[in-house]
A and B are shown apart, each in its own frame.
Chain A
Amino acid sequence: MATPTVSKSILDSDNIRYDASARTRWRLGFDRVIGWLLPLLFVVAIAPILSLVYYISARAIPSLSWQVITSTSPYQTDAMGVPIIGTFELMLLATSIAVLLGLFGGIATAEFLSERTAGWVRMSANLLVGTPSVIVGYFGYFTFVIFFGWSLSLLAGTITLAFFMTPYVFRTADLAFTSVPSHIREAALGSGARPYQYILRVGTPIAFPQILTGIFLAMAIGVGETAPIVLTTAGGKIPPQTLFSPVSWMSSLIWQNFAQAPSTGLPTIAFQAAFLLLVVVVSLNVVVRIISSRYRRRLEGLYA
């Protein structure tokens, strides 16, 4: 994408500045001042993160160790092994379903629907993105746990979380395919490509980094969700054995343990889980960055 140049205005060169009118000097001065003030706003965004990360790490790191993270023993209260496995399994299943639904849906919307229908579909996707997760969780409880009779299980949690994550993937796939440059699209179709050939051979490679970014972002958002999982799963002490077993989810662990009395040692578990989640989220973000920057160079050539 075109990166605006950071060069200053031509007015700012020496030979103009001294002869400039008062108004021009004011304009230049204003620009310079803004140029120093606006970046300070970064502090507003970054200071809270630093404070938050420091606070969580300070409470979590002293008691964390490789042993704590990998232990799945039911005899150890602060063993993180089982929550990590449970979270990993649930995320894997939910992401697979969300990617399946979202990818197919997004591509179909971008390529096959008329503008009017696509508008309605996109609006429902946007609505879903903005829905509080507690509503999705409540829906999941009512539909899967009670109505379908699945009880509090890995399956109920998976489908609910997948429903929650699908709109993000959907929107990303939709956006990615609509922003394939039209001259490339027309060239492909004009050369006689069938629609599925266009999607597979031309659209996907171009849209791939953006879609991948969207998937990782959906994962980052999904892994931090509490309400949908608390309402559809029961906590487990051993890794899930069937689709209908209880499963331990790290965000639930945080919610349930942070408010307990410190003498029980339980808040430490909450902070440990919070710290691990932060690590996961940061890693996902880093991966997203890497993908974006690697493929950005590749795509630069596409745009005239």
Chain B
Amino acid sequence: MSSTDKLSGSAPMRKRTGTVGMGVAIGIAVVLLIVGIAGGYELGTTLNKSSSTSTIQLTETGSSLLYPLMVSWGPNYTAYNSQVVLAPESTGSGTGQSYAELGLVNIGASDGYLSNASATSLINLPVAISAQLIYYNLPGISAHINLNGTILAMIYAGAITTWNNPLILAAQSPGVATQLSAISNTIVPIKRSDSSGDTFLFSSLCYMSWSGWPYKYSTSALSGSPWTGATGNSGVVAALQKTQYSIGYVGISYESTATGLTYAAVGNDATLANGTYAAAGSNYVLPSATNISQDANLALTHLQFSQYQLALSMILGGTANGAINITLGGGGTLPPTGETPYPIANLEYTLIKTSPTGTTVTSSALAATVHFLQWAISYGNFAPNGSPSAYIDKVNFIPLTPEVIGYDQQELASVTT
């Protein structure tokens, strides 16, 4: 073990380095740090000019449900207007809302309506209609079973634990009820691990349907629940396929991937009071283009109600006897006669600023954004002959209804570039 000899003359001086030297060094480091921070700030504010090249790049981030649609819209819009390129990202509805609020991206995509949007000079612009399916894995049962928001809420809250629970059986048609009564297995609910607009949607459904729902509604409402979580819609589908007697909520774009699974018919009439259910066969609706559109339009009217922060058309059982009294203000509207809206439909929103802010939402970028969104709600949704466009079909969405388009035009007019 050799150690180096002290070099002559340096021993006494090294002692001084130990304390004062360290102090001066730390002082210099702190000064450099402050200069660096000030410089960074300076850099951010004065040198951050948008490039004056001819191509405008619109950054979009947010909902993973809207992402595939944005991806297929982007190149086609650039073919239509070669000056503008769309750069979509899938980071989650919460991020989309937050980044749009902070002016960090041009377009924020969200599955849920942002209720206090005007506070941060944002507007909600629905650009497509999506729906959510309730899938289950029940060996031996291939029919669509009937469920409604209340039952789903009770399952995910742990109040209903087995498939042959009398509350579930009461909602079924006689044939399905007999089959289901033989299944005494425990229900395995699957939830989303990541923050998700689908969870927002599903928890909203549960929240408005059952007064005993403990989790409220948000993109991570179910994070306090003990169920198995999977990442992404495809994760939920995979988990459902692997786990028998499971149930889960999946966005409609993933319908084609859910081989081996069946979706439920969801009731839009939650007339529940103290355990009694609507008689079998009443208003359990399978998702179809018509049903979903009807629901979307109802959602639109609710956008005007300040007490409904949820743009879902939760058709509650009126104010008649036996209606649930929920904190949202109770009651609701019955659907217009002849309409059978599918309850878990939602509008896919984009959030944009109403006037240029900061370095990303510049005047030219905002103008390009408005132009793009106008393209999206027209050519993006409809083929020239009026049928749904190829982009919409590819992701299994429903094109916008005329009422929604009207609402959008109105909102877009309020944007000042």
* A touches B (Cβ under 8 A): yes
Q: Is A7 an interface residue (CB 8 A)?
A: no
B40 touches A144 (CB 8 A): yes
B241-257 at interface with A (beta carbon < 8 Å) = 253-254, 256-257
Q: Shortest beta-carbon distance, A84 to chain B, in Å?
A: 16
Q: Which of A49-57, A73-81, A131-139 contacts B (4 or more CB under 8 A)?
A: A73-81
Once A77-B72, A150-B43, A182-B4 are accepted as A-B contacts, the answer to whether A264 and B394 lie under 8 Å apart by CB is: yes
Q: Is A114 an interface residue (CB 8 A)?
A: yes
Contacts of B68 in A (CB 8 A): 260-261, 264, 266
B233 touches A241 (CB 8 A): no
In the complex, what distance in Å separates the CA atom of A244 from the CA atom of B44?
9
In the complex, what distance in Å separates the CA atom of A246 from the CA atom of B360?
10
Q: Is A146 an interface residue (CB 8 A)?
A: yes
In the complex, what distance in Å separates the CA atom of A117 from the CA atom of B26?
12
A148 touches B90 (CB 8 A): no
In the complex, what distance in Å separates the CA atom of A230 from the CA atom of B89?
10
A114 touches B18 (CB 8 A): yes
Q: Is B61 an interface residue (CB 8 A)?
A: yes
In the complex, what distance in Å separates the CA atom of A235 from the CA atom of B4?
54
B71-103 at interface with A (beta carbon < 8 Å) = 71-72, 74-75, 78-79, 85-91, 99, 102-103
B48 touches A151 (CB 8 A): yes
Contacts of B43 in A (CB 8 A): 148, 150
Q: Is B407 an interface residue (CB 8 A)?
A: no
Once A260-B234, A261-B257 are accepted as A-B contacts, the answer to whether A149 and B22 lie under 8 Å apart by CB is: no
Q: Is B149 an interface residue (CB 8 A)?
A: no
Once A77-B75, A186-B4 are accepted as A-B contacts, the answer to whether A261 and B253 lie under 8 Å apart by CB is: yes
Q: Is B104 an interface residue (CB 8 A)?
A: yes
Q: How many residues of chain A get a CB closer than 8 Å to chain B's CBs?
A: 44
A152 touches B87 (CB 8 A): no
Q: Is A28 an interface residue (CB 8 A)?
A: no
In the complex, what distance in Å separates the CA atom of A134 from the CA atom of B180?
46
Q: Shortest beta-carbon distance, A237 to chain B, in Å?
A: 4
Q: Shortest beta-carbon distance, A146 to chain B, in Å?
A: 7
A149 touches B44 (CB 8 A): yes
Q: Is B217 an interface residue (CB 8 A)?
A: no
A74 touches B75 (CB 8 A): yes
Q: Which of B49-57, B113-121, B314-322 contacts A (4 or more CB under 8 A)?
A: B49-57
Q: Residues 52-85 of chain A: 1 if any B CB is under 8 Å from the residue's CB, otherwise 0?
A: 0000000000000000000000111100000000
Q: Shortest beta-carbon distance, A204 to chain B, in Å?
A: 20
Once A144-B40, A151-B358, A264-B395 are accepted as A-B contacts, the answer to whether A238 and B55 lie under 8 Å apart by CB is: yes
Contacts of A258 in B (CB 8 A): 232, 234
Once A264-B68, A266-B68 are accepted as A-B contacts, the answer to whether A75 and B78 lie under 8 Å apart by CB is: yes
Contacts of B104 in A (CB 8 A): 145, 151-152, 234
Q: Is B231 an interface residue (CB 8 A)?
A: yes
Contacts of B414 in A (CB 8 A): none
Q: Is B20 an interface residue (CB 8 A)?
A: no
In the complex, what distance in Å separates the CA atom of A283 from the CA atom of B229?
36
B74 touches A237 (CB 8 A): yes
Q: Shortest beta-carbon distance, A227 to chain B, in Å?
A: 11
A170-204 at interface with B (beta carbon < 8 Å) = 182-183, 185-186, 189
Residue numbers of B with Cβ under 8 A of A are 2, 4, 7, 14, 17-18, 22, 37, 40-41, 43-45, 48, 51, 53, 55, 57, 59, 61, 64, 67-68, 71-72, 74-75, 78-79, 85-91, 99, 102-105, 231-235, 253-254, 256-257, 358-360, 394-395
Residue numbers of A with Cβ under 8 A of B are 74-77, 114, 117, 144-152, 182-183, 185-186, 189, 230, 234-238, 241-242, 244-246, 248, 252, 256-264, 266-267
| Cross-chain pairs A/B with CB under 8 angstroms, 23 sampled | A74-B74, A76-B75, A117-B22, A150-B40, A150-B44, A151-B44, A151-B48, A151-B358, A151-B360, A152-B104, A182-B2, A186-B4, A189-B4, A234-B87, A236-B57, A237-B87, A241-B53, A256-B89, A259-B232, A261-B253, A261-B256, A261-B395, A266-B68
